[in-house]
Amino acid sequence: MHGLTVRWSLAESPEGVEKALADYVADTSHERFTGKEALRFKTWRMRTGEWFEGCYVFESPESRDAFETEFRGIAAESPGSLIVGSAPVLIEPCEVVAVAEGAAGFLAAPRY
């Protein structure tokens, strides 16, 4: 599967940025990406005070590359960048080798 990682540094971000990011994901971003054409899934990851990341997995390299090209054009003005106060420090395509669903099952939710 064809992944794309987008990561922002939180090292110089304002206080409360982690809550603002979680609220943005729950209130806006999750819905925006749910059901998105050519996207298999997206995860949002964060390490408090260190980084915030979106990990996208697409059905084809072409759909990933098209999304990456479009995103790079607006990355500095994207909602994540505006909340964090800076552009992403990493935009990196990758390959997802496998995904396993555990016995507890997969739970798609806007907030955990």
Q: Please report where in the chains the tokens 């979106």 appear, as a residue.
A: 54
Q: What is the mean pLDDT of the chain?
A: 96
Look at residue 91 in the predicted model and tell me its pLDDT: 98
pTM of the model: 0.92
DSSP, collapsed to helix, strand or coil, labels residue 92 as strand
pLDDT tens figures, 68-86:
999 999 999 999 999 999 9
Sign of the alpha-carbon torsion through 37, 66, 89, 20: negative
| Both tokens assigned to 42 | 């997206």
The predicted-structure confidence for 38-59, as pLDDT tens digits, reads as follows 999 999 999 999 999 999 999 9
